[in-house]
Amino acid sequence: MQGQDFENIGDETLFWYAPWPEQKSDGIRTAVWRRDRLGYFQAYSHGPLTDSEEEGPHIVSAPIDLEDQSALLSLNINQPNEYCGVSVEILDERFAPVEGYTHADCQPPSESGFKQVVKWADKTSIEGVSGRIRIRVDFTGIRFEDVHLYAVYLDLT
């Protein structure tokens, strides 16, 4: 009996496998963990920002083509709270902030969980943006290193 695969089912990721032939096989094993939580981004803290440092820890995606469609952005995140969190900004392909989707407009998730929706001011989705975009996620707060960002989801609507 040989079998290996994984699948996301609901809010869990399942991985099933069988022992190698040289071991006595008595069936297929299954490992289960919370969905899409095989690894995560975590900011590294080397102390407070100095005057020479303009930006804190962040990640930026590769260019994404929405093909003139609107999209809902959500995060698989753990531990945002009053001391740490994230802020999400939409950039154009040349790294310039897109009006209406800046850090100043961002309403990031305040709870842990799978598919926590990001909003900007009165917008619940990214719409009316032409050309390719990038997603920038900044780690914020005095304990920004406590946040675990497992995944960023972009679902076309």
What mean pLDDT value characterizes the chain?
88
pLDDT of residue 4: 79
pLDDT digits (tens, 9 = 90+) for 35-65: 888 889 999 877 666 665 567 899 999 999 9
**Does residue 108 sit in the same domain as residue 64?**
yes
Of 59 and 11, which is predicted with more confidence?
59
Q: Check whether 1 has a pLDDT greater than 60.
A: no
Neighbours of 70 (CB within 10 A): 15
Q: Check whether 24 has a pLDDT greater than 80.
A: no
Instruction: Determine, yes or no, domain membership for 99.
Output: yes
Of 22 and 130, which is predicted with more confidence?
130
**Does residue 87 sit in the same domain as residue 125?**
yes
Overall domain count for the chain:
2
Instruction: Determine, yes or no, domain membership for 41.
Output: no
Confidence of residue 6 (pLDDT cuts 50, 70, 90): confident
**Does residue 28 sit in the same domain as residue 74?**
no
pLDDT of residue 10: 86
Range of the domain at 19: 4-34
Average pLDDT over residues 82-96: 95
pLDDT of residue 49: 60
Average pLDDT over residues 129-151: 94
pLDDT of residue 2: 54
Instruction: Determine, yes or no, domain membership for 45.
Output: no
Tokens for 40, please give them: 């995560």
pLDDT of residue 139: 94
Instruction: Determine, yes or no, domain membership for 100.
Output: yes
**Does residue 94 sit in the same domain as residue 150?**
yes
